[in-house]
Amino acid sequence: MKLVEPPSCSSPSTIVFIGRNHSGQWVAQEQNGLYGGLFVSRAQAIKYALFENGQHPETIVELPREIELDMGKSPRSNNARRAA
């Protein structure tokens, strides 16, 4: 039996942004920075996003502008900044 890692998110309403960075690599990143990665193709970025968001293509947003992978985000920090 093959073990599969469970998706990182628990809510199907989580938005995943995909697009290209300044180097032309494909980026997939959850809106709050909970997960993300760099990919060589759009297809691989979408495949990853679908795996992580529980197979909800309607929550994947492809951006027309550059997007940079930012794994330094902290969801708690973002919420604290919004509340301040």
Residue-wise pLDDT tens digits, 48-60: 999 999 999 999 9
- The pLDDT assigned to 72 comes to 76
pTM of the model: 0.71
The segments of the chain whose pLDDT lies below 50 read 9, 77-84
In a domain, 50, yes or no: yes
- The pLDDT assigned to 14 comes to 85
- The pLDDT assigned to 7 comes to 54
In a domain, 28, yes or no: yes
Query: Which residue stretches of 5-68 are H helix?
Result: 42-52
The whole domain housing 27 covers 16-66
In a domain, 73, yes or no: no
- The pLDDT assigned to 71 comes to 79
How many domains, the chain?
Answer: 1
- The pLDDT assigned to 2 comes to 52
In a domain, 7, yes or no: no
What are the C-alpha distances in Å from 23 to residues 10, 28, 64, 66, 69? Answer: 31, 14, 15, 9, 11
In a domain, 6, yes or no: no
- The pLDDT assigned to 81 comes to 41
